[in-house]
Amino acid sequence: MKKVLAVGVFDLLHAGHLHYLEQAKALGDHLTVVVAHDDTVRQRKHEPVTNQDLRRRMVEGLKPVDVACVGNPPEVPIFDILPDIQPSVIALGYDQEHVEDRIRTALDERGYSAIEVVRVEGLSDDLDGTRKIIARIVKRAKDGEF
């Protein structure tokens, strides 16, 4: 069985998230999704709108997802989760800041050279990201559309 690992925040779930997970699932037989820990989101992005447990439940309910779990807090290395999941592929979203070369090097250094790292394509929609959706809502509110 070819296991795929996908990671993300998944705050305010939208079509871009679904597209990412559909593409990730197409890379193998079993898709595990690691939903970012609230503390990691706070440290790297913003205050999460929805908490990690709700985000995990929402992601787990999506058809392409076989298993969803909450990731480690930021003080625990992200690679510590790999022995539990044992992926053949790590699928990165088109807009994730991760650099494939750095991930590849880190995997090789830790003895995970067999894991493939793949960046999937983005959705060709103008509302494929949480920030884009929020910006459109704010603009419409300012324009008196609500």
Domain with 47 in it: what CATH number?
Answer: 3.40.50.620
Give pLDDT tens digits for 56-107: 999 999 999 999 999 999 999 889 999 999 999 999 998 887 788 889 999 9
Given a contact cutoff of 8 angstroms between Cβ atoms, the answer to whether 31 and 4 are in contact is yes
* Strand pairing class (30-35; 67-70): parallel
Mean pLDDT score across all residues of the chain: 91
Domain that holds residue 119: 3-142
pTM of the model: 0.87
Give the CA angle between residues 52, 134, 59 to the nearest 5°: 30
Q: How many domains are there within the chain?
A: 1
Residue 124 or 23, more confident: 23
